[in-house]
Amino acid sequence: MEQGTVAGYVGGVPTESDTQPPIFTPRLVLHHVSAPRLITLFEEPESSAVYEGCTYVNPHRVLVDEPGLVRWRATQAKGDVALNKWFLRWMVEKHSDVIVGSTSFHGAPDARGMVEIGLGVHPEFQGRGFAREALVGMWSWVSEQADVRVLRYTVSAANVASMKLIAGFGFEHTGVQLDHESGPEEIFEMSAREFQKRFATRWRADSASLVADAPSD
């Protein structure tokens, strides 16, 4: 949402001063979560305020029972609300309005223009291609943002499904990093320009009519 615009509704979800437009993919809507809602999700995960005014629901308790990235992103948003632009989006299945997962960049682009992404799909919805679909949507959006030049995806070599997922995009393996919680992670990168040429799709509301395919997660 552009600064100075009046709060309203987009896709049945109230817009707020720090929210970005939803990203539409064939079967998902990736709804950006405002900083106040993100912080509430971390501090009071059972609070109805997290979803107040929204048409989607969270019956599978995504990021409630296992908060994962929420504690990191909420702390960052508290320190600098402008960073929230890059943070949490719910993965909402269009036909059911059910949250099936979540995705977030780790922060604003660094000095190289690099942004790293993370995502998770609830076990009940894995194997349906939602992870790939969300990645294409997120990377299509972020590739249009100022100062973004490099897309990064990191994963443990033991995570066979995620290794297969990133291999399907043809990202270059550039090294290994040590995650304090996950241990060693393989680093894969692609330039934003290359991604736009090869994979980018329309992510705005007019893309909602796109025919869905269902590549494996």
Domain boundaries, the chain: 10-206
Which of the two residues, 7 and 102, has the higher pLDDT score? 102
Give the percent of the chain with pLDDT over 90. Answer: 81
What local confidence, expressed as pLDDT, does residue 180 receive? 82
Q: Check: CB of residue 129 under 8 Å from CB of residue 25.
A: no
**Which range among 105-114, 168-177, 198-207 shows the weakest confidence by mean pLDDT?**
198-207
Other beta carbons less than 10 A from residue 205's beta carbon: 14
Pairing of strands 114-121, 150-155: parallel
Number of Cα atoms under 13 Å in the Cβ half of residue 85:
13
Tell the CATH topology of 10-206: Aminopeptidase (3.40.630)
Contacts with 146 (C-beta within 8 Å, 6 or more apart), sequence order: none
- Structure tokens, 208: 């909602």
Number of Cα atoms under 13 Å in the Cβ half of residue 108:
11
What integer best gives the mean pLDDT of the chain? 89
- Structure tokens, 57: 């629901």
What local confidence, expressed as pLDDT, does residue 130 receive? 98
Q: Is a pLDDT exceeding 70 seen at residue 12?
A: no
Alpha-carbon distance 65 to 63, whole Å?
A: 6
pLDDT tier, 66 (very low <50, low <70, confident <90, very high otherwise): confident
Per-residue pLDDT, averaged over 10-26, amounts to 74
